Amino acid sequence: MKFSLVLPFFVGSVAAYLPQFRNKAASITALSADVAVEEIEEVVPSYPTVNGWTADPNKFCLGLPGATAPLGDFDPLGFTKDLPVQEIKRFREAEVTHGRVAMLATLGYVVGENFHPFFNGEVTGPANTHLAQVQEIAPFFFLWLATSILTAELGRARIGWEEPLDAIEKNKEVEGKTWLSKLNDNYYPGDIGFDPLGLKPQDPEEFAEMQTKELNNGRLAMFAAMGMIVQEQVTGQTLF
């Protein structure tokens, strides 16, 4: 009889506490969901749009121009696989810069071996030897040339790259091969602002098309320059 009287009271007391437990469980679940959403939002970074391009880690080479049929997304050795954004940008900076130097070098071989208007025509023979001849014939001009190249490279570094100490700090959380170097987030690889003839298109699609043409010509010129240098080193003779 006593048990029958106590049982309803006990059940009623437990039932009174159930809503509180349910509310607490719901609050904890909602809080966990909010934290999970915040964590997901923090993982996805945002990148600035420069020259109509926004880095997309889900695309080949971040969606940068340069892929051309029939090769398409050509990276057989996987240089860009699983690389962070700043590393791929650094690779593209190197590709554009070396391509431009190679185009100038190729033109220099063709012109330099056929025309000798400077230094009283004393600089002759294979183009591989021209710079050494200039250093011997006109040492002050050679010094000016070397200083000009150094100044241009320092200017490019100031425009496109972070300061070394800032780069070290920002590279702590980046899984890549850089340490002292990091391109500015708002810097487009290769665009140092040098456009005296105003050839740079303002339309993003036209800019991407011109960038692809420059890359392809630069790639071809790198192979051409390597061939010219090696051939002259082996034969010791001019090419033209």
Share of the chain above pLDDT 90, in %: 61
Q: Looking at per-residue confidence, does 16 or 50 come out higher?
A: 50
**Among 169, 189, 26, which residue's Cα sits nearest to residue 97?**
189
pTM above 0.85, yes or no: no
User: pLDDT-derived band of residue 159, with 50, 70 and 90 as boundaries?
Assistant: very high
Q: What is the pLDDT of residue 176?
A: 60
Phi, psi of 72 (to 5 degrees): 65, -130
Nearest Cα neighbor of 228 from 109, 133, 112 is: 109
For residue range 40-86, what is the model confidence (pLDDT) as tens digits? 455 567 889 999 999 999 999 999 999 998 889 999 998 888 888 98
Residue range 5-31: mean pLDDT, rounded = 46
Query: What is the average per-residue pLDDT within 201-221?
Result: 96
Instruction: Find out whether 215 and 65 touch, Cβ atoms under 8 Å.
Output: yes
**Residue 9 CA, distance from chain mean position:** 73
- When pLDDT is cut at 50, 70 and 90, the band that residue 14 belongs to is very low
Looking at residue 46, its pLDDT comes to 84
**Residue in the structure block whose two tokens are 């999970």:** 36
